Structure 1
């Protein structure tokens, strides 16, 4: 029997939302947008969001570290199981005449596109009669393992070295939290954690990492980039913060509540564009804290680990200043 993966169904907005019949600022060809109201989401209120930890929401793709086939720690890529065309059309037609999707009946065996045999559902996905239940969007969140030679997930694979058991991670420096560091972190230290993969070929690369000739992809642990002076969880004050504060040049905020609940606020929920100027991530200095000598790997190779290792100990004013060469 397959083990369920930790995390994470869709994180709700910190405010209650409503749908406006206007073109989406986030998704191309989507003819509506989801916007935040000024009313706090009851789930956030019940989770004491006012005393939670506010962190930067990064613009990348979600990953997960867990064991694979009962063996070593492995990187998993997000893959939601989605309905096929016929089922999706039936689901959308149902939503036009109903206020909730709760009464819609899915046939898991017939209504959904196939996924690889190694696919596992995310923790939190409800099950009925042994089958995973789709969320309110008709998706079943889940994961697939990233193989070394994967073409579909080659950018994920470039950020891990399974032979050495390490991941290429961007995180706050252990000695100075205002400085970022790029380090080779043992996958065993990341077990059952989720991370965001950012880089050259992810979501139009808002952080300007790497280049077409020399792509750069890094993993950032979720919750690692805390917002130093977060505004109160209040609609008008958050809107003012996003408009006026340099630290607010982020895709959004994710609040980590003490009971484990996550709630978020995306710039698009407030009708604001993203990216909008220089992302705050790009304003922070970076140090390369990585040495292949310690990992006993070939420093002459052409992978990202070797390229960053050749810059070990060097500091940069901005992450986009890092040049790895050809």
Structure 2
């Protein structure tokens, strides 16, 4: 049968790349999964222009990330808050914002961009009746919470399965997204950190809006 040649069939990985947890190691080399993928990680280093938008959403000095997630006491609303990087270990997060994937959520603008990290699994599906093609199509097309780019199933054995709208032939981006239908508040909790204001950074700009509330994400404008 077919056997991958890891040295010839795959592009060279960046420096400091490490394979993701669970990747098979064969003869000292990471081996692709059944889809030909070898997932892995590269460090988001401060000052690296390739990852500049990721770096905007992280305070390396404070050891915290700027995160967008549902409010704990009101899951129908969103909050932008700081989360210790140590609390995000072994998690994956999605970067959204002005300069990411065409900015489908209309966040920020070129003069004052906004970039936020969204933890995968933070938004839980409630209205999906069944796991079949018709139910999924109906959910994506007719439910407010289905106005998303895709969903990921988290299985008990640790497996993850992703379904994108494109897999069902559905359009993305949308004019009206679920993420932009919810009120959002900024609650940074800077008193919990050793913080010196630097208004030349994204966090510094955002701190001027701390405790503010908005009808939706796209209403947040920095100065």
TM-score in terms of structure 2 length? 0.93
Tell whether 2:2 aligns with 1:103.
Answer: yes
1:315 alignment counterpart: 213
Pick closer, same or farther for the CA change 1:118–1:300 going to 2, 3 Å.
closer
Q: Does the CA-based 8 Å contact 2:127-2:143 persist in structure 1?
A: no
Three-state SS of the structure 1 residue aligned to 2:7 is: helix
1:300 CA displacement: 4.1
Structure 2 CA distance, aligned partners of 1:244 and 1:115? 41
Contact 1:231–1:237, Cα closer than 8 Å, also in 2: yes
Q: Answer whether contact 2:19 2:30 (CA < 8 A) is retained.
A: yes
Q: 2:102 aligns with which of 199, 204, 208?
A: 204
Alignment RMSD = 1.7
Aligned equivalent of 1:99: none
Matched ranges for 1:34-113 at <5 A: 103-106=2-5, 108-113=6-11
Q: CA deviation at 1:110?
A: 4.3
Among 122, 139, 161, which residue is 1:263 paired with?
Answer: 161
Q: Distance in 1 between matches of 2:8 and 2:159?
A: 33
Flag the structure with more relative contact order, 1 or 2, with Cα contacts below 8 A and sequence separation at least 6.
1
Matched, 1:215 2:121: no
* Greater shift in the superposed pair: 149-158 or 299-308: 299-308
- Tell me, yes or no, if the aligned pair for 2:107 and 2:217 is still in contact at 8 Å: yes
Partners of 1:299 and 1:310 within 8 A in 2: no
**Pairing of 1:142-153 with structure 2 (within 5 A):** 142-153=40-51
2:14 alignment partner in structure 1: 116
- Cα deviation for residue 137 of structure 1 reads 4.6
What are the ranges of 5 or more consecutive residues in structure 2 without an aligned counterpart?
none
Cα distance, 1:213 vs. partner?
1.2
Mapped pair 1:154 → 2:52: yes
> Of 28, 51, 63, which residue of structure 2 is paired with 1:130?
28
1:127 to 1:315, Cα distance in 2 relative to 1, 3 A: same
Q: Which runs of 5+ in 1 are unaligned?
A: 1-101
C-alpha distance in 2 between matches for 1:187 and 1:154: 18
CA distance in 1, matches of 2:156, 2:36: 29
* Structure 1 length-normalised TM: 0.65
Distance in 2, matches of 1:117 and 1:272, equals 37
Give the corresponding residue for 2:127.
Answer: 229
* Structure 2: distance between partners of 1:137 and 1:254: 17
Report the alpha carbon displacement of residue 276 of structure 1 after superposing the two structures with TM: 2.5
Measured in 1, the distance between the counterparts of 2:67 and 2:74 equals 16
Aligned length in residues: 223
Equivalent residue, structure 2, for 1:253: 151
Q: Is the contact between residue 197 and residue 218 of structure 1 (CA under 8 Å) also seen in structure 2?
A: yes
- Tell me whether 1:167 sits opposite 2:167 in the alignment: no
